[in-house]
Amino acid sequence: MNIVGDFISGAANGFREVWANKLRSLLSMSGIILGVAALVAMIGVVQGMVSNLRVSFENSGGILRLNVETQDPPEEQRHIEGRSPGRTLNDAIALREGLTHAQFVGAEVEGGWSRFEARGHRRWALVRGVLPDNLNFDTRGLAEGRFVSELDVLYGSPVVVIGSEVRDRLFGDIDSPLGEVVRIQGGSYTVVGVMEESLSEAGGGVRSRFVDRQNFMPATTVLRRFREDQNIRELTVMAKDLPSLPDLIEQIENILMQTHRGIEDFYVSTRDEQLADLRRLERSFMFSLGGIAAISLLIGGIGIMNVMLASVSERIREIGVRKAIGARSYDVFLQFLSEAVVISVVGGILGLLLSVGLLAGLREIIPDGDRISGAPLVAMFWGFIFSSGIGLLSGIYPAIRAARLDPIDALRYE
Amino acid sequence: MSVDQIEKPAEDAVFTLRNLRRTYEMGSETVRALDGVSLTIPDGQFLAIIGSSGSGKSTLMHILGFMDSPTGGTMNFEGEDVTGISRARRASLRANRIGFVFQSFNLLPRLSVIDNVVLPLIYGERPVRRKDRIEAGMQALQRVGMDHRAKHTPNQLSGGERQRVSIARALINKPRLILADEPTGNLDSKNRKVVMDLFTKLIEEGITLALVTHDDVVANYADRRIRMQDGKIIEDDRS
Ligand SMILES: Nc1ncnc2c1ncn2[C@@H]1O[C@H](COP(=O)(O)OP(=O)(O)OP(=O)(O)O)[C@@H](O)[C@H]1O
Ligand SMILES: [Mg+2]
């Protein structure tokens, strides 16, 4: 017995039946269409978000990155808390000199949002004071020129590395802004470099206007010109490799104990937690998506089953006739099953098309919509498999009902 | 000839029934739709089955047409004992060896005339290509004089025309036996004559026909008339 052949000719008849009842078929498909569309579109959104989080996690140092955070010192040190200078640029300098297992040491001083002016244009943009190694902690590279150098830091030079969005706003009318002067908060700074757009490959396809409005200056320059205190916002160390991580942490703690004069107002945080968070996030997204998918496809399946049951009772006489002239129960079973599968497969395909449109639409509407990826092929594949599977499952019961009908009873039915 | 006399399965008989019973259990009550029917239908015979309403005529036709099974007795079809055969085997016999004509035509309204006629071929023993199906269908339609309406749908036809199409459908698998349950019941006298002349022509071509009717005019076309009452054959008239 050639089941596949029977099924293919059944599917052809199924198509004819579906086409003959266009409106009814469309209504019965609607659950599957919406279910598949929502599923694929949501997977697209979530996958885009999560993979971008992952890429920026990796590009900003991954698991090898350590941060020195501040904390309240323990109870017994509270009364001498004032002896510690807190987290300062000196910490970074001491770490750079003392660490043997570190790849990079970065520090950041916040300069705040400031007004940038050049060539008659103005733009509010963020000033970040950094060390040369900070380039390695950024998801972006340099588009042109150079980054903040050791000498810049040493002398507190009035130089700036601007973000791509700032370049477009202030220097959109010239070829290269290198060597041009920008007025920021009353001071003059020479542009020595331009950062890449965050949309670039290294940024994981994430374009963020916020990121592209960030500009770098030497940490010393920012401390001198933009701040009253000596506090730094971030102190970052990147390990050479994973095995050296514990030793490195110990070294950091030893060195900082000296610069903080024995006060434990800091701790070294690893990114284990962040990685675990990321994984938890991914998992919970996938679980909730799985739940939504299951529910929507269940509803789709119930819709199809409902329509198929109605179709069976509408066609009892037809079933009787077919059986009377020789159709086996198997033939009738296959006829109705293939109709259900055709409905759900067509519904699944329409749902996939809708999801592509939905994602394209979302990318336009949502702020930061560029984070949304295109309809992912894997999701489309599974959406398709699930919808046909649902058709198969929801078609089985009505098909059995049809196949079980007794020809005499069916023919007597009015 | 006595109706209770047991007939031997004849070599050239299409059907031989012995003491056939069909009962329905309705709660505590037992309905004997067929109550010991013995009957031989020889090859080429035109048999009319008559009798009052509820006497078991349709029940007998359904069993002869392999749509129903007897609850007692034996039946032999074309030399083969078919008493307790499986559902699948019965379906196969329906598709390949018997043509059935109904009172209410039972054509599928959504299919064209030609597609209705070739429908049994889809369920036949061997697959038939569409081109060959159409050819066979057109031949069957020619035999009933309906080939010019092949592309129409059943509801574009008169009752008599529909019945001729359904006879073409019964002929498509070239069966020896055609069963007809009140085939003229829904027709006026003019169309009744057309259909009965068609049946007469088919008998001359060698078909065996068993037909249920309430109509004496129709019964008089037959070679033999059996009368049923309370699930039994009470009269067997060969003239
Ligand atoms: N499915 C069934 N369940 C119970 N009783 C049935 C069933 N089918 C038929 N019967 C009974 O069997 C008997 C014979 O019915 P059958 O249909 O064979 O009569 P008939 O001779 O064809 O009558 P008519 O001339 O009205 O068509 C009737 O008493 C009928 O009520
Ligand atoms: Mg009857």
Query: What domains appear along chain B, each with residue ranges and CATH number?
Result: 13-97+175-237 (3.40.50.300), 109-162 (no CATH)
Give the CA dihedral B5, B9, B10, B14, nearest 10 degrees.
Answer: 110
Q: Is the pLDDT of residue A254 over 90?
A: yes
Nearest CA to ligand 1 atom 1: B24
Compute how many other C-beta atoms are within 10 angstroms of the C-beta atom of residue A173.
Answer: 8
Chain B residues in contact with chain A using a Cβ-Cβ cutoff of 8 Å: 62, 65, 67-68, 87-88, 91-92, 94-96, 100, 102, 106-108, 110, 119-120, 122-124, 169, 173
Q: Average pLDDT for residues A87-103, to the nearest whole number?
A: 90
* CA angle A20–A317–B14, rounded 5-degree value: 125
Q: Is the pLDDT of residue B4 over 50?
A: no
Compute how many other C-beta atoms are within 10 angstroms of the C-beta atom of residue B151.
Answer: 10
Cα–chain-centroid distance for residue A349?
A: 25
Closest ligand to C-alpha of residue B27 is 1
Beta carbons within 8 Å of B46's beta carbon, 6+ residues apart: B199, B200, B203, B208, B209, B211, B221, B222, B223, B224
**Cα distance between residue B215 and residue B236, in whole Å:** 17
Q: Is B54 in the pocket of ligand 1 (CB under 6 A)?
A: yes
Q: How does the average pLDDT of chain A come out, rounded?
A: 86
Q: Is B14 in the pocket of ligand 1 (CB under 6 A)?
A: no
Beta carbons within 8 Å of B31's beta carbon, 6+ residues apart: B23, B24, B25
Cβ contacts of B68 on chain A, cutoff 8 Å: 408
Could you tell me the pLDDT band of residue A205, with boundaries at 50, 70 and 90?
very low
pTM of the predicted model over 0.90: no
A113-155: pLDDT as tens digits: 999 999 999 999 999 999 999 998 887 889 999 999 999 999 9
DSSP A375: P
Q: Is B42 in the pocket of ligand 1 (CB under 6 A)?
A: no
B27-42: pLDDT as tens digits: 889 999 999 999 999 9
Q: What is residue B225's three-state secondary structure?
A: strand
Closest atom of ligand 1 relative to the A408 alpha carbon: 1
Beta carbons within 8 Å of B201's beta carbon, 6+ residues apart: none
Structure tokens at A296: 């929507």
Contact A320 B62 (CB under 8 A): no
CA atoms within 13 A on the CB side of B93: 22
Return the pLDDT at A29. Answer: 86
How far does B123 lie from chain A, in Å, by closest CA?
5
Pairing of strands A65-70, A159-162: unpaired
Closest ligand to C-alpha of residue B29 is 1
Closest CA to B65 of B173, B177, B162, B227: B177
How far does A304 lie from chain B, in Å, by closest CA?
22
Considering only CB atoms, A328 lies closest to which of B65, B88, B119, namely B88
* CA angle A65–A87–A61, rounded 5-degree value: 10
Q: Is the pLDDT of residue B229 over 80?
A: yes
Nearest CA to ligand 1 atom 3: B24
A377 vs B: CB within 8 A: no
Cβ contacts of B107 on chain A, cutoff 8 Å: 321
Residue of B nearest to A332 (CA): B123
> What is the B191 CA–ligand 2 centroid distance (Å)?
21
How far does B94 lie from chain A, in Å, by closest CA?
5
φ and ψ of B20, to 5 deg: -70, 135
Q: Average pLDDT for residues A304-314, to the nearest whole number?
A: 90
Beta carbons within 8 Å of A132's beta carbon, 6+ residues apart: A147, A148, A149, A150, A152, A153
Considering only CB atoms, B123 lies closest to which of A318, A326, A407, namely A326
Q: State the amino acid at position B207 in one-letter form.
A: I
Q: Is B30 in the pocket of ligand 1 (CB under 6 A)?
A: no
A322 vs B: CB within 8 A: yes
Q: Is the pLDDT of residue A207 over 60?
A: no
Could you tell me the pLDDT band of residue B209, with boundaries at 50, 70 and 90?
very high
Size of interface A-B (CB pairs under 8 A): 55
Pocket test for ligand 1, best of B34, B50, B53, B58 (most atoms within 8 A of CB): B58
Beta carbons within 8 Å of A295's beta carbon, 6+ residues apart: none
Structure tokens at B125: 């023993």
Q: Is B62 in the pocket of ligand 1 (CB under 6 A)?
A: no
Q: Is B185 in the pocket of ligand 1 (CB under 6 A)?
A: no
B212-222: pLDDT as tens digits: 999 999 999 99
Residue of A nearest to B87 (CA): A328
**Cα distance between residue A351 and residue A314, in whole Å:** 28
Cβ contacts of A411 on chain B, cutoff 8 Å: 102, 106
Q: Is the pLDDT of residue A200 over 60?
A: no
Q: What is residue A121's three-state secondary structure?
A: strand
Q: Is B38 in the pocket of ligand 1 (CB under 6 A)?
A: no
Cα–chain-centroid distance for residue B58?
A: 10
Contact A323 B91 (CB under 8 A): yes
CA-based R_g, chain B, Å: 18
Q: Say which range, A69-73, A330-334, A335-339, A357-361, has the weakest mean pLDDT.
A: A357-361
| Cβ A235 vs Cβ A68: under 8 Å | yes
Could you tell me the pLDDT band of residue A360, with boundaries at 50, 70 and 90?
confident
DSSP B215: -
Contact B120 A323 (CB under 8 A): no
Contact B87 A317 (CB under 8 A): no
* Range of A12-26, A293-307, A372-386 with top mean pLDDT: A293-307
Residue of A nearest to B170 (CA): A325
A23-63: pLDDT as tens digits: 888 888 888 888 888 888 888 777 777 777 777 777 777 88
Look at the alpha carbons of B197, B198, B202, B203 in this order and tell me if their dihedral is positive or negative. negative
* CA angle B5–B8–B11, rounded 5-degree value: 150
